[in-house]
Structure 1
Amino acid sequence: MTDSRTALVLFSGGQDSTVCLAHALATYSHVETVGFDYGQTHRVELDCRLDVLAQIRAAFPDWAEKLGDDHVLALPALADIGGTALTGDGEIRVLDNGLPSTFVPGRNLLFLTYAAAIAYRRGLSVLVGGMCETDYSGYPDCRRDTLDHLAKAISAGMDAPIEIETPLMYLDKAATWAMTETLGGDMLIDLIREATHSCYRGDRTTRHEWGYGCNDCPACELRSKGYAQWVAQKKVSHDL
């Protein structure tokens, strides 16, 4: 049964946020999306997200009826602060503090706070994000504990209940591909391989079996490894 609540999906146009969007459309009565322009070096994702939305509307008519407005907010201050490989030309590496240079301090905290403000104005009660503790790059703002504390603070500060749902929190990338197939079959798998963008370097020139990317950055490595594991698991299941 469809959940009568309404949701706002943090939608970057990448694999994880697209699976989260599919989950929300399969779950809630009305779904809107929000993207952020924060000076990211892989800003090609901002173009890809519009293509993904258009393809979802065309390929899944039942979902299209639930899919409402898309919002895009500019957060240039994240790039102005600098010091990260995602908003500059820095090398992708592990820093002395143990975090990857792709970590943008406060990014998810700001994204969710701004998303909550939109949700408040739009009458939406659930924020849906692709944060994950299982296959992730060590970002502290992806942890469930962080998000639980943030949800409490936002709900208190707005005097309105806001839930932060993270469907992928405890899934590895192979399980994310499996979830994709469950939600939308081969059509959604093909859409994610062809239309989404997750590569930190913004490479849309090289097509791999799992999709487009440099096949060298942490995001591509996770996506590639997860796809290979999912395909192997499917083969074993088929052979049994």
Structure 2
Amino acid sequence: MKKILIVEDEEELASNIAEILTGLEYQVAAIVDNAYSALEYLEGNLVDLVLMDILIKGDVDGIDLAYKIREKYDLPIVFSTAYSGTEFLERISSDIHEGYLLKPFTLDSLKAAVFFGLKRHSERPARPEKSRGSLKVMDKGFLVPIPFNEILYLKADGLYTKVFTKVKSYLVRDILKGFEDKLPEEQFIRVHKSFLVNVNHVSSFNAKKINLGEVSLPIRRGLYKELIEKLQVE
């Protein structure tokens, strides 16, 4: 029987979810309402899936909690959220989760989200070893591990550096140069005095700019040939 950890700060909803999952022949491992309790539980217990609200109690939300869980455990995560706007859904569009469930949900939608969450995780190919590391940053007084593969690019901002991921951005008190030694050189390249990018997210480039999906960044003069070699473009 698959064990599911529920991370939900609405007590009545959490109880309803637990009742439904039990009826679907899953075992509810525990119900917690904040990141610390979730991590503490995972430290000493095995589960098969985490069903997690994004807006939970405490300063660490469900998205940052997902990063922390991914750093230590190979577990499928299914988000639940009451927000259905395109901008919000794009914030959680990354491989830190196996699916999301829009509130209010039905028994069938919950059943499908959990089933496919477990299925996608079991079918997911192993990640390359170089992508398994993470960059540790301080955010609102908390240490957050950001998997290398989640980072799109870093931008210099005076004495600070902004770290951009598909999900959100972090402002870190350290100059951009300080990050070059912390990131794998085969995966990151300084394309400009103000930008360090993850080559795995490059969608296109020319002699003047480089594109990472919808984001366009300038590149320094003479980098075009180096980029071709770095990206192994024929």
Interval containing the TM-score (normalised by the shorter chain): under 0.3
Structure 2 length normalisation: TM-score? 0.27
Structure with bigger helix share is 1
Structure 1 length normalisation: TM-score? 0.26
Of structures 1 and 2, the larger Rg is shown by: 2
Q: Relative contact order, CA 8 A, sep 6+: which one is greater? A: 1
